[in-house]
Structure 1
Amino acid sequence: MPSSKGACMPYTNEQIAALVRADSVHKSVYTDSALFQLEMERIYGCAWIYVGHESQVPNAGDFCATRIGDQDVILVRATDGKVHVLYNRCPHRGAKLVADGCGHAGKFFRCPYHAWTFQLDGSHLAAPLKAAFEGSCFDPQHPDFSVRPVARVESHRGFVFASQAAQGIGLKSFLGGVISSIDNLCDRSPVGEVEVAGGMFRVLQTSNWKVFYENLHDTMHAPVTHESSVVAAREQAQKMGAMPLELHIMVGNGEPYRFWENLELCAYAHGHGYMEGIFDPGAASRDPVTRAHFAVLEQAYGHARASEILGMNRHNTIIYGSGSPHTVFQQFRVIRPLAVDRTMIEIQLFRLKGAPEAVFKRTLMYANIINAPSSNVMADDVELYARCQQGNLSRGGDWTSLHRHLGTDRAVPGGMVSSNGTSELPMRNQFQAWKQYMLGHLVEENCDAA
Structure 2
Amino acid sequence: MLVESFETRLSDLVHPDHVHQDVYTDPEIFELEMERIFGRAWVYIGHESQVPNPGDYWTTLIGRDPVVMVRDKTGKVNVLHNRCPHKGAKVVGEGCGNAGPIFRCPYHAWTFKLDGSLMGVPHRSWYDGTGFDPKGDEFSMRSVTRVDSHRGFVFASLSKDGPDLKEFLGGTITTLDNFADRAPEGYVIVAGGVQRVWQESNWKLFLENMNDTAHAPATHESSWTAAKQTAQSRFEGKSPFQLHIIEGNGEPNAFWEALDFRCYDYGHSFFDAIFNAPGDRISLEYRAQLNAAYGEERAAEIQKINRHNTVIYPSCSPHVGFQQMRVVRPMAVNRTMIEFFTFRLAGTTDEFFQRTINYTNIVNSPSSLVMVDDVDLYRRCQEGMLSDGGKWISQHRNFGKDVQGDNEIIGKGVTELPMRNQFRAWREYMEVPNGDAQPAPVGTSDERCVS
Provide the C-alpha distance between the structure 2 equivalents of 1:123 and 1:443, rounded to a whole number of angstroms: 24
Provide the C-alpha distance between the structure 1 equivalents of 2:320 and 2:293, rounded to a whole number of angstroms: 19
- Match of 1:149, SS? coil
Counterpart residue number, 1:177: 171
Counterpart residue number, 1:298: 291
| From 391, 394, 404, the counterpart of 1:398 | 391
- Match of 2:422, SS? helix
Counterpart residue number, 1:3: none
| From 341, 347, 353, the counterpart of 2:346 | 353
Matched, 1:237 2:234: no
Provide the C-alpha distance between the structure 1 equivalents of 2:356 and 2:2, rounded to a whole number of angstroms: 44
Provide the C-alpha distance between the structure 1 equivalents of 2:4 and 2:191, rounded to a whole number of angstroms: 44
Counterpart residue number, 1:65: 59
Q: 1:372-411 alignment to 2 at 5 Å?
A: 372-411=365-404
Provide the C-alpha distance between the structure 1 equivalents of 2:380 and 2:92, rounded to a whole number of angstroms: 36
* Structure 2: gaps (5+ residues): 442-451
Once the two structures are TM-superposed, the CA of residue 171 in structure 1 deviates from its matched residue by 0.2
Partner amino acid, structure 1, of 2:196: R
Once the two structures are TM-superposed, the CA of residue 256 in structure 1 deviates from its matched residue by 1.1
The alignment's TM-score, normalised by the length of structure 1, stands at 0.95
Matched, 1:422 2:414: yes
Once the two structures are TM-superposed, the CA of residue 13 in structure 1 deviates from its matched residue by 3.0
Once the two structures are TM-superposed, the CA of residue 238 in structure 1 deviates from its matched residue by 2.2
Taking structure 1 as reference, are residues 323 and 343 closer, same or farther at Cα in structure 2, changes over 3 Å only?
Answer: same
Partner amino acid, structure 2, of 1:432: R
- Match of 1:337, SS? strand
Matched, 1:221 2:215: yes
Deviations 1:268-287 (A, max 9, x none): 10000101100123xx2x12
Once the two structures are TM-superposed, the CA of residue 62 in structure 1 deviates from its matched residue by 0.5
Partner amino acid, structure 2, of 1:54: E
Contact 1:274–1:315, Cα closer than 8 Å, also in 2:
yes
- Match of 1:374, SS? coil
Partner amino acid, structure 1, of 2:246: M
| From 179, 191, 201, the counterpart of 1:197 | 191
Contact 1:47–1:446, Cα closer than 8 Å, also in 2:
no
Provide the C-alpha distance between the structure 2 equivalents of 1:447 and 1:65, rounded to a whole number of angstroms: 31
Once the two structures are TM-superposed, the CA of residue 443 in structure 1 deviates from its matched residue by 6.8
- Match of 1:198, SS? coil
Provide the C-alpha distance between the structure 2 equivalents of 1:31 and 1:239, rounded to a whole number of angstroms: 46
- Match of 2:290, SS? helix
Partner amino acid, structure 2, of 1:37: E
| From 404, 426, 431, the counterpart of 1:439 | 431
Instruction: Give the root-mean-square deviation of aligned CA atoms.
Output: 1.5
Once the two structures are TM-superposed, the CA of residue 440 in structure 1 deviates from its matched residue by 1.5
Q: 1:54-133 alignment to 2 at 5 Å?
A: 54-133=48-127
Partner amino acid, structure 1, of 2:242: E
Deviations 1:168-214 (A, max 9, x none): 21100000000000000100011211010032210000000000111
Contact 2:429–2:438, Cα closer than 8 Å, also in 1:
no
Contact 1:118–1:146, Cα closer than 8 Å, also in 2:
yes
Contact 1:30–1:210, Cα closer than 8 Å, also in 2:
yes
Provide the C-alpha distance between the structure 2 equivalents of 1:130 and 1:137, rounded to a whole number of angstroms: 13
Counterpart residue number, 1:332: 325
Counterpart residue number, 1:252: 248
Once the two structures are TM-superposed, the CA of residue 103 in structure 1 deviates from its matched residue by 0.7
Contact 1:169–1:446, Cα closer than 8 Å, also in 2:
no
Taking structure 1 as reference, are residues 443 and 320 closer, same or farther at Cα in structure 2, changes over 3 Å only?
Answer: farther
Provide the C-alpha distance between the structure 1 equivalents of 2:193 and 2:105, rounded to a whole number of angstroms: 27
Counterpart residue number, 2:355: 362
Contact 2:188–2:346, Cα closer than 8 Å, also in 1:
yes
Provide the C-alpha distance between the structure 2 equivalents of 1:444 and 1:129, rounded to a whole number of angstroms: 42
Once the two structures are TM-superposed, the CA of residue 47 in structure 1 deviates from its matched residue by 0.6
Once the two structures are TM-superposed, the CA of residue 9 in structure 1 deviates from its matched residue by 5.5
Provide the C-alpha distance between the structure 1 equivalents of 2:406 and 2:425, rounded to a whole number of angstroms: 17
Counterpart residue number, 1:275: 271
- Match of 1:180, SS? helix
Deviations 1:205-227 (A, max 9, x none): 00000001111111110000000
* Structure 1: gaps (5+ residues): 1-6
Contact 2:39–2:63, Cα closer than 8 Å, also in 1:
yes
Partner amino acid, structure 2, of 1:26: H
Taking structure 1 as reference, are residues 90 and 447 closer, same or farther at Cα in structure 2, changes over 3 Å only?
Answer: farther
- Match of 1:336, SS? strand
- Match of 1:52, SS? strand
Contact 1:8–1:33, Cα closer than 8 Å, also in 2:
no
- Match of 2:115, SS? coil
Once the two structures are TM-superposed, the CA of residue 11 in structure 1 deviates from its matched residue by 4.0
Q: 1:34-45 alignment to 2 at 5 Å?
A: 34-45=28-39
Partner amino acid, structure 1, of 2:421: N
Contact 1:437–1:443, Cα closer than 8 Å, also in 2:
no
Partner amino acid, structure 2, of 1:274: F
Provide the C-alpha distance between the structure 2 equivalents of 1:132 and 1:163, rounded to a whole number of angstroms: 37
Partner amino acid, structure 1, of 2:52: P
| From 146, 153, 165, the counterpart of 1:152 | 146
Once the two structures are TM-superposed, the CA of residue 10 in structure 1 deviates from its matched residue by 4.2
- Match of 1:363, SS? helix
| From 341, 351, 362, the counterpart of 2:334 | 341
Contact 2:428–2:439, Cα closer than 8 Å, also in 1:
no
Contact 1:189–1:353, Cα closer than 8 Å, also in 2:
yes
| From 364, 368, 386, the counterpart of 1:371 | 364
Contact 2:160–2:436, Cα closer than 8 Å, also in 1:
no
Contact 1:10–1:34, Cα closer than 8 Å, also in 2:
no
Provide the C-alpha distance between the structure 1 equivalents of 2:223 and 2:327, rounded to a whole number of angstroms: 24
Contact 1:181–1:317, Cα closer than 8 Å, also in 2:
yes
Contact 2:340–2:364, Cα closer than 8 Å, also in 1:
yes
Provide the C-alpha distance between the structure 2 equivalents of 1:447 and 1:36, rounded to a whole number of angstroms: 21
Contact 2:14–2:423, Cα closer than 8 Å, also in 1:
yes
Once the two structures are TM-superposed, the CA of residue 446 in structure 1 deviates from its matched residue by 6.2
Once the two structures are TM-superposed, the CA of residue 18 in structure 1 deviates from its matched residue by 1.3
The alignment's TM-score, normalised by the length of structure 2, stands at 0.95
Counterpart residue number, 1:4: none
